[in-house]
Chains A and B, each alone.
Chain A
Amino acid sequence: MERKLPPGQEWVDGLIPYDIGSVPPLRLEDFRLRIDGEVENPLQLTWEKLLSFRKPK
C-alpha cells in the first residue's frame, strides 16, 4: 500500500529539530507538568506520577 503523504510534503529519514532558544537544564525530580485553565480538576504531575499511568497499547 502506498503511504499517505499530505500535500506539499516530502519524506525524510529523521526528525530535524528546531528550537526557539536555549533550553534550561532540568532534574527529573524537579519536573512538574501543570494542567490548568478551564478544568474541573487542575493537576500538578510529578515525573513519577506521569510514569505510573497505564501504558497505551
Chain B
Amino acid sequence: MKADFHCVTRWSVPDLRWEGVLARTIIELCRPKEEVRWVLAYGREGYSTNVPYGYFAQEDTILAHKLNGKPLPPENGWPLRLVVPSLYAWKSAKYLVRLEFTREKRQGYWEERGYHDVGDPWKEERRWDSRA
C-alpha cells in the first residue's frame, strides 16, 4: 500500500510503501457491532489515540509491519504500527498492541491535550480548540 503521510506539525512525506494486514481484514475477522463509531489504538509505551470508525475502515488503512520493503525501524513503531493515511499521522499509533472498538467516544493521548478527534488533513482538523 503506497501513501503520502501528513503530520500535524506541517510536514508530509510522499509515497511511503507500507506492508502488513489491511484494517478491512481485521474488521472481517473481529466483526465490530453495528453501533461501533470509534476505534481506540494503543501502543505498548502507553500511547493511545481515537480514530473514527469510518476512517479506520477505509481501504488504505493498514496494520503495517514493513516500511519500504524492510521491517519497521524501531523509531517508526516496530514491530507493528497502525497506518491511517487519510488522517494526520498522530492517529497512526506506533508500537501497536491493542485495537478497541467502541460506541462512545473516548479520547486518546493527544486528543485529551487539545488535538482533533477526527484529524482529517484535507479539512485541517488540527485541534478542536482552534484552527491554528
Contacts and interface: CB of A to CB of B under 8 A. Distances in A.
Nearest to B19: A55
A6 B94 CA distance: 23
Given A12-B11, A15-B5, A20-B46, A37 B102 contact: yes
Nearest to A43: B30
Interface string A11-31: 111111101111110101001
Contacts of A13: 13
Interface residues of A, number: 43
Interface in A29-56: 31-43, 47, 50-51, 53-56
Contacts of B95: 23
B70 interface: no
A42 B16 CA distance: 31
Contact of B31 (A6, A9, A41): A41
Contacts of A5: 12
Interface of A: 3-17, 19-24, 26, 28, 31-43, 47, 50-51, 53-56
8 contacts: A3-B14, A10-B12, A23-B45, A33-B99, A38-B101, A39-B101, A41-B29, A41-B31
Interface of B: 1, 4-7, 9-14, 16, 19-22, 25-26, 29-33, 35-36, 40, 43-47, 62-63, 65, 74-76, 79-80, 94-103, 109, 121-122, 124
